[in-house]
Each structure stands twice: as C-alpha cells, then as structure tokens.
Amino acid sequence: MRLLLVEDNVPLADELLAGLQRQGYAVDWLADGRDAAYQGRSEPYDLIILDLGLPGLPGLEVLAQWRAAALAIPVLILTARDSWAERIEGLKAGADDYLSKPFHPEELYLRIQALLRRSHGQANQPTLQAAGLHLDEGRQCVLRDGAEIQLTAAEFRLLRYFMLHPEQILSKSHLAEHLYDGETERDSNVLEVHVNHLRRKLGRSVIETRRGQGYRFGAPAA
C-alpha cells in the first residue's frame, strides 16, 4: 500500500517514515501544502496522512482542493490542534479520521489499517481475511487452517494488497504503482518473482495469471 505523508516537522516525519516502512507501507513525504495539493491528485495513493499546520497552503485548504477534485482517497489528519471546533472543521472538509499530537505510533498504525480495510469494504477484524487466509498485519505472517506461514517483507506487502483487492484483476504496472514509493525503481520481473514465492507457500491456485492482463487473487487455497 502506498501512502502520502504530508508533515513539515522534520524529526516527526523521519520517525513516521521509518515506522510506516517497518509496517510494510511505501511512503512518499512532502512538507509543503502546495506540493501536496498537486501530488495528492496526480499519484495513485491508497491513503494520505495530512498535517494541518503546513507552509505554502494550510492542510484544510489542501483537503478541500482534493475533495473538490473528487479525490476519494482516505485522509487521516494529524494536528497539534485539539479543539472540538477544529476536529469538526476537518471532518466537514472531508477527513476520514483525526489524530491529535502527541500520539502513540501504534494508534496511528491501527487507524491506518482500519481506514484501508474500510475503504475496501473489509471488516476491521484482528486479521485481514480473504480466500481462506488470515493475514496478521502486526506480525506480518499469514495463517491458513491454523498453520502459520512466514512471509518476507516483500511477500507480506504484496499479499496484503491482493487480500484487500480479492477477485480483482491487477496489472503488474498497477501493483508496482501501489507497492513502491516514488523514489524506488519498479521492476515487473521482481513482482513476478514475489508472486511465484507466494504461490509456493500458499498454493498455485490462490493467485491466477490472466495473460495480457495481470493477476487475480482469490481462488480457494490449494
């Protein structure tokens, strides 16, 4: 899943980037509201974390521009402002959730997880469930029939994306756009390797290849 972090506090941004990357997210970081207003509309993000007190353009104005452009990406607001009026103002502008500073990183991770599942029509349960699999996002492993299957970091990122999009045909280019940040070179051959590794661990029928189209996740586990 690819996230956009818009935060002008550099030490906090560094901390969040490191933590979110450990959680298996590809993250782009911006510190200026004007840059965020443009990039949020032009890149295929799965979720945006937005600070309100930004240089260039206030966070609420950035959010208003996104929603006016019919951008439906979930937006979680981070702010040091802790009044009810400002919370309501952010929600009215189109925010999906709100977290006041200071906060515990674990709470942020759980809120992101809940927003991503909700935006894809998934229930917010202890594990992400699809095709007979249970993905433990905290431990980054998958359970099937009570057996625990270990995953590499790359396999976890790919499987999580598949499980949030069951039965959908996903091209290699689409997967690359959502699994890598803007600075990482995207190689479809590497994706194919990770798909084959998942098939060996989970069964070949779990991920179907559609020639000329991409991959489809969701067949019953072998």
CATH number at residue 6: 3.40.50.2300
pLDDT at 157 over 90: yes
pLDDT of residue 81: 66
Q: How far apart, in whole angstroms, are the C-alpha atoms of residue 58 and residue 118? A: 27
Say yes or no: 196 and 107 in one domain: no
More confident residue, 45 or 88: 45
Say yes or no: 96 and 192 in one domain: no
pLDDT of residue 88: 84
Q: Would you say residue 116 lies in a domain?
A: yes
Q: Would you say residue 222 lies in a domain?
A: no
Which residue spans within 81-193 are E strands per DSSP? 97-100, 128-130, 133-136, 141-144, 147-150, 169-170
Say yes or no: 162 and 84 in one domain: no
Say yes or no: 134 and 202 in one domain: yes
Q: Would you say residue 96 lies in a domain?
A: yes
Q: Would you say residue 113 lies in a domain?
A: yes
Say yes or no: 98 and 26 in one domain: yes
- Give residue 209's domain range: 128-217
Q: How far apart, in whole angstroms, are the C-alpha atoms of residue 160 and residue 212? A: 23
Say yes or no: 11 and 112 in one domain: yes
- pLDDT tens by residue, 59-75: 999 999 999 999 999 99
pLDDT at 118 over 70: yes
Q: Among 120, 150, 177, where does a domain finish? A: 120
pLDDT of residue 219: 59
pLDDT at 93 over 60: yes
CATH number of the domain at 193, please. Answer: 1.10.10.10
186 HSE (CA, 13 A, CB side): 14
Say yes or no: 32 and 75 in one domain: yes
In one-letter notation, the amino acid at residue 29 is W
pLDDT tier at 222, thresholds 50, 70, 90: very low
The tokens describing 179, both together, are: 């699994």
pLDDT of residue 221: 45
Span of 5-9, 91-95, 162-166, 198-202 with lowest mean pLDDT:
91-95
When divided into structural domains, the chain yields a total of 2
Q: Would you say residue 99 lies in a domain?
A: yes
pLDDT of residue 135: 96
pLDDT at 83 over 80: no
Average pLDDT, stretch 171-187? 89
Average pLDDT, stretch 125-145? 93
Q: Among 80, 100, 120, where does a domain finish? A: 120
Say yes or no: 153 and 85 in one domain: no
**The whole model's pTM is what?**
0.92
- Report the SS3 class of residue 26: strand
Average pLDDT, stretch 18-36? 97
Residues 6+ apart with CB under 8 A from 144: 132, 133, 134, 202, 221
Say yes or no: 59 and 160 in one domain: no
pLDDT tier at 89, thresholds 50, 70, 90: confident
Sign of CA dihedral 79, 83, 87, 90: negative
More confident residue, 25 or 185: 25
Q: Among 120, 146, 173, where does a domain finish? A: 120
Residues 6+ apart with CB under 8 A from 70: none
pLDDT tier at 146, thresholds 50, 70, 90: confident
pLDDT of residue 122: 87
Say yes or no: 92 and 191 in one domain: no
Average pLDDT, stretch 125-133? 91
pLDDT of residue 82: 65
184-208 burial, b for 16+ CB within 10 Å, e for fewer? eeeeeeebeebbeebbebbbeebbe
Average pLDDT, stretch 114-123? 92
The answer to whether the CB of 136 falls within 8 A of the CB of 127 is yes
The answer to whether the CB of 35 falls within 8 A of the CB of 44 is no
Q: Would you say residue 62 lies in a domain?
A: yes
Say yes or no: 18 and 99 in one domain: yes
Say yes or no: 113 and 154 in one domain: no
